[in-house]
Chain A
């Protein structure tokens, strides 16, 4: 792996040199420039930067609008914090931290995300460990089920959960409980996939060494396997949190009333009606909370994997 990385600069240097293979055609004319086999990929580079601008600029503008001083959510009218915690003239109780509705939704968002994270990740990690070591046909079936819950469109989980809690499991009332159960069901496959990849890359040798040296199976898992899995578990925590706090598809059908709707559902409802910069502030808040968790994750990840090679590569590998 490291060889391939050190090779690349040389290839780039080769490309920078004036083309010795096509000396007859001048590279200055447009046609010659086009035909030069070693020209730098300007078109692709432009396309990539344009894409990045297109994908991120609108969001930056939306974040900016949350600090708007006027009521408009499409035109900049000056800077203020009033839609975050002030009392705007047009809507005195409309700002994110003042409006009782948005404030309650914010708490509900955080509560659901943290609970989901702390339920789904342990279940998923244990499942991944069990399924990688357990032999026979049964784990393949369980894994199939897990992958199925991963690929199925979210709206299907949302609707089937709603029907489930309305017609069969009637003692679970729509609200936080139902939301939590379905969020965990949808999220539990992320840690499984991430941890399983890590399990396969570390192999069984370390555990075998531990048991050969006299560790019991439980000690081998707790003292050897789990520390090796910490990076993957950390990434799972961050991804599950980021995905849950933004989730509105499953949760919307299971809210059962305005009081248990999290911020994401509120944003969806408001986006179709009257928009104020407070909604931008709400969306920005979700983004900031995700970023805080992600930065925390990266920080812990660095601490845990200190001295190991190929960290960033592994981290991006989890996402793709």
Chain B
């Protein structure tokens, strides 16, 4: 299959005649589905964000005609976002940056080792690295909830080794627990794409670096690292996008207002009624904030699809 010369004929007229609607017909159900159930819901979000509020129930009244849109509630929420919510947003960014950095260090080391030195065990390594994909996120968090409980095994080991004199309540709003939870939750999504990129690096280029007198470190910094830069960027985006919308890791491992993240604001605005259009406006803010990384990732994916 691979040995055949790849030829892309310009003329489509060879062989059978394809009706004009033939290929669009295949794409039609999916396109229609997305237009109705992805674009339209987002239009509802925008209509609520620019809409008004029921004066009695404080529930949002969407305004579907753009010419009646009002910025009033949006500006009010923006006021919150830059004032009252600012600590939450700063905290979210700090947690996400910290967690992503830790993820990158561990993920790069693991992916590099498996890609370069996996040898005969590569299949086993890959199976173990893929395993977390099939274990639900909830289960992986649940297992830490249980390990970190006051009478759980982590405290058992720590007190046995006299590292801490008495059990620590890890689940009562400890930022360390939340960041570690984020790392634990999202790192599998980083390792596999990184592995994909590192595995494609031509070994002879690395060997050339060593032959030309570079030591391990220099060869890594001057050859491997630049070659894997697109992989690093892509995997950073893959991991940070969901982290910004994450509320569950935080809720399960802390649940304390001391560690509230932006995702929690979103989730809280859904759980309490009578907050007007808050949920819709926060969704809009998050989408705008993540627009650039999302567009970057989409462009890279589309490029990878073309170049394959």
Q: Using a CB–CB distance below 8 Å, which chain A residues touch chain B?
A: 1, 4, 7-9, 11-12, 37, 40-41, 44-45, 47-48, 51-52, 54-56, 58-59, 61-62, 65, 72-75, 123-124, 126-127, 129-131, 133-135, 138-139, 142-157, 159-164, 167-168, 181-182, 184-185, 188, 192-193, 196-197, 200-205, 208, 210-212, 215-217, 220, 242, 245-246, 248-249, 253, 264, 267-268, 271-272, 275, 279-280, 283-284, 286-287, 290-291, 294, 312, 316-317, 319-320
Chain A residues positioned under 8 Å from B266 (CB to CB): 155, 159
Asked whether, in the complex, the Cβ of A154 is within 8 Å of the Cβ of B242, the reply is yes
Binds A, one of B65-73, B76-84, B86-94, B248-256: B248-256
Q: How far is the CA of A69 from the CA of B147 in the complex (A)?
A: 18
Minimum CB–CB distance from B237 to chain A (whole Å) comes to: 8
Name which residue of chain A comes closest to B27, CB basis: A130
Q: How far is the CA of A130 from the CA of B146 in the complex (A)?
A: 48
Give residues of chain B (256-308) contacting chain A, Cβ–Cβ below 8 Å: 263, 266-267, 270, 279-280, 283, 286-287, 290, 294, 297-298, 301-302, 305, 308
Number of contacts between A and B (CB, 8 Å)? 301
A-B contact pairs, 22 of them (CB 8 A): A40-B117, A45-B113, A59-B139, A75-B152, A129-B23, A130-B23, A134-B24, A135-B23, A139-B27, A142-B30, A145-B31, A160-B41, A163-B44, A163-B62, A182-B37, A196-B305, A197-B308, A201-B308, A208-B9, A246-B136, A287-B135, A290-B135
Asked whether, in the complex, the Cβ of A134 is within 8 Å of the Cβ of B27, the reply is yes
Q: How far is the CA of A73 from the CA of B290 in the complex (A)?
A: 38
Known: A145-B31, A246-B139; 14 extra A-B contacts, CB below 8 A, are A55-B188, A58-B140, A74-B146, A127-B31, A135-B12, A155-B246, A163-B41, A163-B45, A167-B44, A203-B6, A246-B137, A283-B136, A284-B139, A320-B193
Most buried by A among B9, B139, B153, B193: B139
Q: Which 5 A-B pairs have the closest CB atoms?
A: A130-B26, A211-B15, A130-B27, A127-B30, A153-B245
Indicate whether B131 reaches chain A with its CB closer than 8 angstroms.
Answer: yes
With A205-B7, A280-B142, A320-B196 as contacts: A151 and B298 at CB distance below 8 Å: yes
Indicate whether B18 reaches chain A with its CB closer than 8 angstroms.
Answer: yes
Name which residue of chain B comes closest to A21, CB basis: B210
Minimum CB–CB distance from B140 to chain A (whole Å) comes to: 6
Binds A, one of B120-128, B157-165, B222-230: B120-128
Asked whether, in the complex, the Cβ of A47 is within 8 Å of the Cβ of B27, the reply is no
Indicate whether B132 reaches chain A with its CB closer than 8 angstroms.
Answer: yes
Q: Which of B4, B110, B294 contacts A205 (CB 8 A)?
A: B4
Asked whether, in the complex, the Cβ of B130 is within 8 Å of the Cβ of A208, the reply is no
Most buried by B among A58, A130, A161: A58
Asked whether, in the complex, the Cβ of B147 is within 8 Å of the Cβ of A74, the reply is yes
Chain B residues positioned under 8 Å from A45 (CB to CB): 113, 117
Asked whether, in the complex, the Cβ of A283 is within 8 Å of the Cβ of B305, the reply is no
Indicate whether B212 reaches chain A with its CB closer than 8 angstroms.
Answer: no
Chain A residues positioned under 8 Å from B203 (CB to CB): 4, 7-8, 11
Q: Which of B1, B27, B114 contacts A131 (CB 8 A)?
A: B27
Q: How far is the CA of A193 from the CA of B297 in the complex (A)?
A: 13
Minimum CB–CB distance from B305 to chain A (whole Å) comes to: 6
Q: How far is the CA of A269 from the CA of B245 in the complex (A)?
A: 19
Asked whether, in the complex, the Cβ of B247 is within 8 Å of the Cβ of A155, the reply is yes
With A151-B298, A253-B270 as contacts: A283 and B138 at CB distance below 8 Å: yes
Most buried by A among B29, B119, B144: B29
Minimum CB–CB distance from B29 to chain A (whole Å) comes to: 5
Q: Which of B140, B245, B248 contacts A59 (CB 8 A)?
A: B140
Chain A residues positioned under 8 Å from B57 (CB to CB): none
Chain B residues positioned under 8 Å from A272 (CB to CB): 251-252, 255
Name which residue of chain B comes closest to A204, CB basis: B8
Asked whether, in the complex, the Cβ of A200 is within 8 Å of the Cβ of B128, the reply is no
Minimum CB–CB distance from A307 to chain B (whole Å) comes to: 12
Asked whether, in the complex, the Cβ of B140 is within 8 Å of the Cβ of A200, the reply is no
Indicate whether B244 reaches chain A with its CB closer than 8 angstroms.
Answer: yes
Asked whether, in the complex, the Cβ of B34 is within 8 Å of the Cβ of A185, the reply is yes
With A151-B298, A316-B126 as contacts: A123 and B247 at CB distance below 8 Å: no
Asked whether, in the complex, the Cβ of B143 is within 8 Å of the Cβ of A59, the reply is yes
Minimum CB–CB distance from B22 to chain A (whole Å) comes to: 6
Name which residue of chain B comes closest to A126, CB basis: B26
Q: Which of B24, B143, B297 contacts A130 (CB 8 A)?
A: B24
Asked whether, in the complex, the Cβ of A148 is within 8 Å of the Cβ of B298, the reply is yes
Asked whether, in the complex, the Cβ of A123 is within 8 Å of the Cβ of B113, the reply is no
Chain A residues positioned under 8 Å from B62 (CB to CB): 163, 167-168
Minimum CB–CB distance from A41 to chain B (whole Å) comes to: 6
Minimum CB–CB distance from B13 to chain A (whole Å) comes to: 10
Most buried by B among A72, A160, A181, A215: A160
Indicate whether B75 reaches chain A with its CB closer than 8 angstroms.
Answer: no
Minimum CB–CB distance from B189 to chain A (whole Å) comes to: 10
Name which residue of chain A comes closest to B255, CB basis: A272
Asked whether, in the complex, the Cβ of B151 is within 8 Å of the Cβ of A74, the reply is yes
